[in-house]
Amino acid sequence: MQIVTIKDIARVCGVSVSTVSRAMNGHSDISRKTREHILQVIAESGYVPNNNARNLKRLEARAVALLVKGMDNTFFQKIIDVMEKEIRERRYSCILQRVEESEDEVELALELVREKKLRGIIFLGGKFDHPKESLERLTVPYVLSTSECRNGFSGGGRVSVDNEKESFRMVEYLCSLGHRRIAILTAAPDDESIGRLRFDGYRRALEAYQLSQDPQLEVFMESGRDKYDFASGYRMTKKLLQRNTEFTAIYATSDTLALGACRALHEAGIRVPRDCSVAGFDGLEAGKYYIPSLTTLAQPVGEIGRATVSQLFRRIEKRKNSEQIIFEGELIVRESTSAYQSIKKGV
């Protein structure tokens, strides 16, 4: 009795496999009595239908996948929640898969579409610079959420904030406070994703305020070592401090980086925001509870999540065309930033 199959159940019940199948799947062309008997036997036997066989046979399932690159990113936590809920509300099942940094999410998507007979895909995170040929093979609707894509973008939809613009806004805000030496903590120089866009926004804001770009103020992640987390923000700020260059504000391209930065400043005896302002990006919950609470550019995760799912379903069920939806971020000013005080110049 190692492996129980539908045949075993059929034999025990004295019916055919098709009748068992009907009982399980809630078909109507079966008598109440036999159905109940069968379900009873199933419950007692510990039989679990084999999904492989099911999916192999089924023509299409009510299911979509949510593929997340960089699942450890705290920022995704809430957005995943929202999306799962939205998907469930539409009575679809949601297959959530984390994809490794080195993995190719489109290849994975291709497999899943075949395997699970998926109706749509949501990609969360990643750079998404896939060749057109790969994307063209993806025959179901897909939406790219929160992340950017370089090459024009063919068939898929996209939902996100305008990272370059929002980044500009944040740096502009810091400039407007009177800061002129604004350091930035950002992704490795070879980053082709949001990291690059946020960096571009920073540079453009400096230009707009006629501040010259100073390499001494730019701290990049070391690829392979740093990522968007506390420890990296801490290390990068230490590095900045060692350069012995003057700065009165730090713009960190994520809230986690920003909080790590605050700690490093604290240890160096630099008070936030009195001696140095610190600003982040994302609008993480943690920043709200930190001391000092963190000024940030919050992404509307709820709206992004809902819009992503609703676009996907418009395309699945109503065959609408794909769209590029851009949401506004919100500049949330909290305790970690303040106006530049020339008194501080005594450094």
Give the residues lining the site for its own copies (CB under 8 A).
2-3, 46, 48, 50-53, 55-56, 72, 74, 77, 81, 96-98, 107, 110-111, 114-115, 133, 137, 139, 229-231, 233-234, 259-260, 262-263, 266, 285-286, 288-291, 293
- The Cα 203–Cα 176 span in angstroms is 15
- Closest to its own copies by CB, 48 or 208: 48
Tokens of 290: 């930190």
- The Cα 87–Cα 107 span in angstroms is 23
- Closest to DNA by CB, 71 or 110: 110
CB of 84 to its own copies, least distance (A): 9
* Cis upstream peptide for 292 (omega within 30°): yes
In the region spanning residues 20 to 49, those forming contacts with DNA, defined by CB under 7 A, are 21-22, 24-25, 28-31, 33-35, 47-49
- Closest to DNA by CB, 59 or 343: 59
- The Cα 86–Cα 92 span in angstroms is 9
111 touches, from DNA, its own copies, none (C-beta below 5 to 8 Å by class):
its own copies
**327, 298, 333: which is closest to 176 by C-alpha?**
333
**189, 184, 200: which is closest to 252 by C-alpha?**
184
Instruction: Give the interface segment with DNA, choosing from 54-62, 183-191, 226-234, 266-274 (CB under 7 A).
Output: 54-62
266, 241 Cβ separation under 8 angstroms: no
* Residue 155 Cα to chain centre, angstroms: 20
Q: Does 58 bind DNA (CB under 7 A)?
A: yes
- Closest to its own copies by CB, 116 or 158: 116
CB of 296 to its own copies, least distance (A): 14
**206, 295, 304: which is closest to 255 by C-alpha?**
295
Helix or strand run (H / E) with residue 200: helix 194-208
Tokens of 10: 């059929």
137 touches, from DNA, its own copies, none (C-beta below 5 to 8 Å by class):
its own copies
List residues near DNA by CB under 7 A: 3, 5-7, 14-19, 21-22, 24-25, 28-31, 33-35, 47-50, 53-54, 56-59
